[in-house]
Chain A
Amino acid sequence: MTINPSGWRPEHALAANDGPADGGTFTGNRALMLEEKLIFEIGDTESCGVDFDDVPEVASRLGGLERAAPMGIPGLSEPETVRHYTRLSRQNYAIDLGLFPLGSCTMKHNPRLNERMARLPGFADVHPLQPAETVQGAYELIHVLGEWLIKLTGMNSVAMSPKAGAHGELCGLLAIRSALEARGDARKVVLVPESAHGTNPATAAFCGYSVETIPATKAGRVDRAALEARLGPDVAAVMITNPNTCGLFEREMVEICEAVHAVGALVYCDGANFNAIVGRVRPGDLGIDAMHINLHKTFSTPHGGGGPGAGPVVFSEALSPFAPLPFVEKTGETYSLVEEETADEDHSKSFGRMAAFHGQMGMFTRAASYMMSHGADGLRQVAEDAVLNANYVLRQLEDVLDAPFGDSGPCMHEALFSDDGLANGLSTMDIAKGLIDEGFHPMTMYFPLVVHGAMLIEPTETESKASLDQFIGALRSVASRASAGDLTLKSAPFYAPRRRLDETGAARKPILTWRDPA
Chain B
Amino acid sequence: MRYLPLSDGDRASMLASIGAPSIDALFADVPEAARLAGAIEDLPLHASELSVERQLKAMASKNLVAGESPFFIGCGAYRHHIPASVDHIIQRGEFLTSYTPYQPEIAQGTLQVLFEFQSQVARLYGCDVANASMYDGSTACWEAIGMARRITKRSKAILSAGLHPHYVSLCNTMAKFTGDTLVTSLPSLTDGAPGNDMAALLSAIDSQTSCVVVQNPNILGHVADLSELADACHAKGALLVAVVTEPVALGAIKSPGEMGADIVVGEGQSIGVGLNFGGPYVGLFACSEKYVRQMPGRLCGETVDAAGQRGYVLTLSTREQHIRREKATSNICTNAGLCALAFTIHMSLLGEAGLRKLASINHARAVLAAERLAAVPGVELVNGAFFNEFTLRLSQEARPVIRTLAKQGILGGVALGRLYPGVDALANGLVVAVTETTSEDDVEQLAGALEEALA
State yes or no: do A and B touch (Cβ within 8 Å): yes
Q: Which of A126, A379, A389 has the most chain B CB atoms inside 10 A of its CB?
A: A126
Measured CA separation A52–B198 after assembly (Å)? 36
Choose one: B17, B45, B349, B360; the contact of A392 (CB below 8 Å): B17
Residue B60 at the A interface, CB < 8 A?
yes
Q: Contacts A131-B406, A362-B276 hold; do A356 and B166 have CB atoms under 8 A apart? A: yes
Say whether B349 contacts A49, CB under 8 Å.
Answer: yes
Say whether B278 contacts A90, CB under 8 Å.
Answer: no
A residues less than 8 Å from B323 (CB atoms): 198
A158, chain B: closest CB distance, angstroms: 15
Stretch among A9-17, A363-371, A477-485 lining the B interface: A363-371
A residues less than 8 Å from B30 (CB atoms): 249, 277, 280-281
Q: Contacts A55-B361, A128-B77, A357-B279 hold; do A388 and B325 have CB atoms under 8 A apart? A: no
Residue B113 at the A interface, CB < 8 A?
yes
Q: Contacts A90-B94, A381-B4 hold; do A67 and B251 have CB atoms under 8 A apart? A: yes
Q: Contacts A45-B352, A121-B60 hold; do A62 and B387 have CB atoms under 8 A apart? A: yes
B residues less than 8 Å from A208 (CB atoms): 177-179
**What total of chain A residues lie within 8 Å of the partner, measured CB to CB?**
205
Residue B455 at the A interface, CB < 8 A?
no
Contact string, A122-165, partner B, CB cutoff 8 A, digits 1/0? 11111111110111111011001000100110000000000111
Contact string, A207-238, partner B, CB cutoff 8 A, digits 1/0? 11001000000000000000000000000000
Measured CA separation A164–B335 after assembly (Å)? 8
B residues less than 8 Å from A45 (CB atoms): 351-353
Say whether A513 contacts B253, CB under 8 Å.
Answer: no
Residue A169 at the B interface, CB < 8 A?
yes
Say whether B275 contacts A127, CB under 8 Å.
Answer: yes
B210, chain A: closest CB distance, angstroms: 17
Residue A360 at the B interface, CB < 8 A?
yes
A residues less than 8 Å from B251 (CB atoms): 67
Stretch among A72-80, A261-269, A312-320 lining the B interface: A72-80
Stretch among B33-41, B148-156, B231-239, B444-452 lining the A interface: B33-41
Choose one: A136, A379, A447, A506; the contact of B303 (CB below 8 Å): A506
Q: Contacts A47-B353, A50-B349, A120-B60 hold; do A92 and B135 have CB atoms under 8 A apart? A: no
Say whether B40 contacts A279, CB under 8 Å.
Answer: yes
B residues less than 8 Å from A62 (CB atoms): 223, 252-253, 363, 385, 387
Q: Contacts A362-B276, A510-B316 hold; do A38 and B3 have CB atoms under 8 A apart? A: no
Q: Contacts A78-B85, A306-B337, A341-B422 hold; do A375 and B135 have CB atoms under 8 A apart? A: no
Measured CA separation A190–B49 after assembly (Å)? 45
Say whether A65 contacts B65, CB under 8 Å.
Answer: no
Stretch among A107-115, A418-426, A450-458 lining the B interface: A107-115
Say whether B352 contacts A305, CB under 8 Å.
Answer: no
Say whether A89 contacts B170, CB under 8 Å.
Answer: no
Measured CA separation A387–B27 after assembly (Å)? 8
Say whether A206 contacts B353, CB under 8 Å.
Answer: no
Choose one: A91, A137, A361, A384; the contact of B278 (CB below 8 Å): A361
Stretch among B182-190, B201-209, B340-348 lining the A interface: B340-348
Q: Mostly helix, strand, loop or mixed at chain A's interface? A: loop
Measured CA separation A206–B328 after assembly (Å)? 9
Of chain A, the residue at the smallest CB distance from B19 is A395
A residues less than 8 Å from B91 (CB atoms): 115
Say whether A378 contacts B108, CB under 8 Å.
Answer: no
Q: Which of B94, B128, B129 has the most chain A CB atoms inside 10 A of its CB?
A: B94
Say whether A436 contacts B36, CB under 8 Å.
Answer: no
A508, chain B: closest CB distance, angstroms: 10
**What total of chain B residues lie within 8 Å of the partner, measured CB to CB?**
212
Say whether B436 contacts A52, CB under 8 Å.
Answer: yes
Choose one: B19, B274, B352; the contact of A73 (CB below 8 Å): B352
Of chain A, the residue at the smallest CB distance from B39 is A376
Choose one: A248, A465, A500, A514; the contact of B14 (CB below 8 Å): A465
Say whether A96 contacts B93, CB under 8 Å.
Answer: yes
Say whether B336 contacts A307, CB under 8 Å.
Answer: yes
B residues less than 8 Å from A461 (CB atoms): 4, 6
Residue B334 at the A interface, CB < 8 A?
yes
Choose one: A72, A92, A365; the contact of B109 (CB below 8 Å): A92
Measured CA separation A92–B105 after assembly (Å)? 9
Say whether B275 contacts A126, CB under 8 Å.
Answer: yes
Residue B76 at the A interface, CB < 8 A?
yes
Q: Contacts A121-B60, A360-B280 hold; do A280 and B112 have CB atoms under 8 A apart? A: no
Q: Contacts A137-B59, A308-B280, A356-B164 hold; do A89 and B95 have CB atoms under 8 A apart? A: yes
Measured CA separation A379–B4 after assembly (Å)? 10
Choose one: A55, A305, A355; the contact of B95 (CB below 8 Å): A305
Say whether A130 contacts B64, CB under 8 Å.
Answer: yes
B residues less than 8 Å from A285 (CB atoms): 33-34
Say whether B57 contacts A61, CB under 8 Å.
Answer: no
Say whether B277 contacts A361, CB under 8 Å.
Answer: yes
Choose one: B33, B92, B299, B325; the contact of A512 (CB below 8 Å): B299
Choose one: A57, A140, A304, A392; the contact of B341 (CB below 8 Å): A304
A residues less than 8 Å from B167 (CB atoms): 356
Say whether A47 contacts B276, CB under 8 Å.
Answer: no
B447, chain A: closest CB distance, angstroms: 17
Say whether A133 contacts B164, CB under 8 Å.
Answer: no
Contact string, A265-301, partner B, CB cutoff 8 A, digits 1/0? 0000000000001011110011000000000100000
Measured CA separation A486–B318 after assembly (Å)? 31
Residue B377 at the A interface, CB < 8 A?
no
Q: Contacts A38-B112, A61-B363, A96-B96 hold; do A357 and B166 have CB atoms under 8 A apart? A: yes
Q: Contacts A49-B348, A357-B166 hold; do A442 and B103 have CB atoms under 8 A apart? A: yes
Closest CB pairs A-B (n = 7): A75-B351, A122-B60, A63-B385, A341-B421, A304-B338, A96-B93, A137-B62
What would 11 more interface pairs be, CB under 8 Å, given A251-B31, A282-B40?
A49-B350, A53-B361, A85-B89, A91-B112, A126-B66, A202-B326, A306-B132, A355-B170, A377-B46, A501-B305, A513-B122
Interface pairs (18), CB distance under 8 Å:
A38-B112, A49-B348, A56-B368, A63-B384, A90-B94, A92-B98, A126-B277, A134-B406, A163-B135, A198-B320, A198-B328, A205-B331, A206-B330, A280-B30, A356-B76, A378-B46, A497-B105, A512-B301
